[in-house]
Amino acid sequence: MKMAGDTVKPRLSIPRKWLIPALLLVSILIWAAVLTMPDDKLHVSFLDVGQGDAILIQTPGHQNILIDGGPDPQKINLELSKKLPFWDRTIDLMVSTQPQADHVTGLVEVLRRYKVKQVLEPGVPYYSSIYYEWLNLIKDEKTKHDIAIAGQEIDLGDNIKIAVLNPPSELFQGTSHDVDNNGVVLKLTWGKVSFLFTADIRDEAEFELVSQRASLRSTVLKVAHHGSKTSTSPQFLSVVGPEVVVISVGADNSFGHPNSEVVERLISRLGVENVYRTDRNGTIEFITDGESLWVKTEDISNES
């Protein structure tokens, strides 16, 4: 009958009909993967996550290191997705420089969504519900959990290294803010280019680092504590001798960060074009081959 003809005919033509779109999809996917392949340079991105820190390091050897996650679970995911290729769901090392919410909140969300191989944190005694949530997740996911101590070194291959400069083996006690001062300070070096990530440390920890003659000299400095006036002392700045600085700060934040005195100190030393701010420049990406340094920023229209 008519019925039989109607049902059989399309069935025969289905494979042929669907082959073309299927092949098309696969080839688009392959192209998308190829186009998002990482290059052979080192990328350090200061992510625009509002009032907080979040830094992503992507090495030529394909490793992803995330230092802090900022205060906003949504923003960190969006920013990470912009920088990581769509097929990459792995963070090789997650660092929480200190346990406060503006560093760790985003990390909770990242831990839920990405395969995190290892975490590093100062391990200072501190209670907050978000920090405990993060610790519990690490336990649940059975992620390797290390405590940062000055003197450790992390080898990322291709002669790229991260040195841990702070906290000291004997944690700061009785300073103006122990949690801030015990923050994890890292120095990333590749050839002639180096980055110093100073977390939220205050002048006490800065002074200690200077007096220990730690090798602080760096090309790029992440200004400590969102440019607060309790950090980035002139002495520390002259020992580090950066060519470029980055202030990771949210627009119109309630803390009054960054402090205008600190900003002026930086501008008078480096020139206004070498002072980058995430509230003005958006996400700031540094690209280096170990010799030269390139900077990529987003232009931010006045969004609050």
Partner 1 sequence: MWLLYISCAWVAGIFLGSKASLPSAIIISGLAPFLFIPLFSNHKNYLIVAGFCLLAFFGGYLCYPSSPPQIDEHSLCFYNDKEPVQIQGLISDEPDIRGKFCFLTFSASEINIEGIKKEASGTALLRVPRYPAFRYGDVLQVTGELETPAPFNDFDYKSYLARQGIHSIIYYPEIEVIDSGKGLKPLQWLYSLRENLANSLARALPEPQGSLAQGILLGMRANIPDSLNQSFSRTGTAHLLAISGLHIGIVIAIVLSFGILIFGRQRSIYIWLALIVIWLYVSLTGMRPPVIRAAIMGSLFLTAEFLGRQRDAITALAFAAAVMVGIQPYILWSISFQLSFLAMAGLILLYPYFQSQGKKGANAIFRDRKTITSMGNMVTDSFAITLAAIIATWPLIAYNFHIISLVALPATFFSLLSLPAIITSSALVALVGLFAPLVAQILGWLAWLFLSYLLLVIQVFDTLPYSSLPVAAIPAWQVWVYYAGLAVAIAILNHRKKSSNLLPKLSAESK
Q: Binding residues for partner 1, per CB under 8 A?
A: 3, 6-7, 10-11, 13-14, 17, 25, 28-29, 32-33, 71-74, 77-78, 80-81, 84, 86-87, 89, 105, 108, 112-114, 129-130, 132-133
In whole angstroms, give the CA distance from residue 150 to residue 242.
21
Give the strand pairing for 90-91 and 64-67: unpaired
Quote the least distance from Cβ 140 to partner 1, whole Å. Answer: 12
Peptide bond into 38 cis (omega under 30): no
- What is the H or E stretch that residue 193 is in? strand 193-197
Quote the least distance from Cβ 128 to partner 1, whole Å. Answer: 10
In whole angstroms, give the CA distance from residue 171 to residue 167.
6
Quote the least distance from Cβ 11 to partner 1, whole Å. Answer: 8
Quote the least distance from Cβ 95 to partner 1, whole Å. Answer: 19
Q: Which is nearer to partner 1, 7 or 169 (CB)?
A: 7
In whole angstroms, give the CA distance from residue 146 to residue 114.
18
The owner of tokens 């803010």 is: 177
Quote the least distance from Cβ 278 to partner 1, whole Å. Answer: 17
Measured in degrees and rounded to the nearest 5, phi and psi for residue 114 equal: -115, 160
Peptide bond into 258 cis (omega under 30): yes
The alpha carbons of the chain give a radius of gyration, in whole angstroms, of 23
Q: Which is nearer to partner 1, 25 or 147 (CB)?
A: 25
Quote the least distance from Cβ 51 to partner 1, whole Å. Answer: 12
Quote the least distance from Cβ 70 to partner 1, whole Å. Answer: 11
Q: Which is nearer to partner 1, 19 or 25 (CB)?
A: 25
Q: Which is nearer to partner 1, 6 or 273 (CB)?
A: 6
Q: Which is nearer to partner 1, 50 or 167 (CB)?
A: 50
Helix boundaries (H) for 38-193: 73-83, 101-113, 129-141, 178-181
Q: Which is nearer to partner 1, 42 or 110 (CB)?
A: 110
Q: Which is nearer to partner 1, 23 or 25 (CB)?
A: 25
Strand partners, 238: none
Closest among 229, 197, 231 to 216, alpha carbons compared? 197
Quote the least distance from Cβ 203 to partner 1, whole Å. Answer: 31
Edge-first strand order for the sheet with 220-222 is: 153-155, 161-166, 185-190, 193-197, 220-222, 244-247, 275-277
Contacts of 219 (CB under 8 A, 6+ apart): 192, 193, 194, 195, 242, 243, 244, 293
Q: Which is nearer to partner 1, 132 or 294 (CB)?
A: 132
